[in-house]
Chain A
């Protein structure tokens, strides 16, 4: 628990530093104050991609090793990933309203693929809650967690593959299309959010461990466990 608190404290400081970078970067000439959303929208989506990637890795590890801890890592990472996808969608809609004049376009491949990814991982959580048997739950979740990750490259490259309102990647192999101050604000926030992801994962895994311990303490003993052979001294002469 102490380790979790330290990690959460460090993450809070890092997010504070990131916020300072985002708020002190000069506003964009066209987008004005809305360019400051660079400090939260791309970092949130980066964490969503990272979280779902970790889920896929842990799911494959569960299918190979069948160890409970990989199942716990996969499910914890989905929860954190869904929260950051929700933040990415929400901040994107606010930004879209300001820049495109609409928060949502049902025909847009980037927006729709992100929404589908969000609901598929909500479905992952629903699936886990619908199955009581731990092994069946872990196996079915692992299959879904492994298959669902295909959406991550689809969402990321949708801006290159299709015509979309959303801009293409700002950081490319030939350099960045952003001024240095904005780029720095985005990168610092991405680092801070990565630390936040690690801290939230540690907290979630700690809860899973405590709940598993509490559950096993409640389990009744094995049949026959309470039966002991009578001692000779206890047998009364008949």
Chain B
């Protein structure tokens, strides 16, 4: 696997984790408000 792919994948997974947390917060908020 090329270095570029590994570095790009590392960025993608890291940002993905942050986006997943933001989505989780969004779902939790909607559940609390009952929307």
A residues in contact (CB < 8 Å) with B = 1, 8, 15, 19, 32-34, 36-37, 39-40, 44, 79-80, 83, 86-87, 90-91, 94, 98, 196, 200, 203-204, 206-207, 210-211, 213-214
Closest Cβ–Cβ distance, residue A40 to chain B (whole Å): 6
Most buried by B among A8, A79, A207, A211: A207
User: Which A residues are CB-close (under 8 A) to B29?
Assistant: 1, 206-207, 210
As a 0/1 sequence over residues 1 to 34 of chain B, the CB contacts with chain A under 8 angstroms (1 = contact) are: 0011011001101110110011001101100111
CA distance A203 to B26 in the complex (A): 8
Number of interface residues of B (CB under 8 A): 20
CA distance A203 to B21 in the complex (A): 10
User: Which A residues are CB-close (under 8 A) to B14?
Assistant: 40, 44, 87, 90-91
CA distance A211 to B25 in the complex (A): 11
CA distance A196 to B15 in the complex (A): 11
User: Which B residues are CB-close (under 8 A) to A211?
Assistant: 28, 32
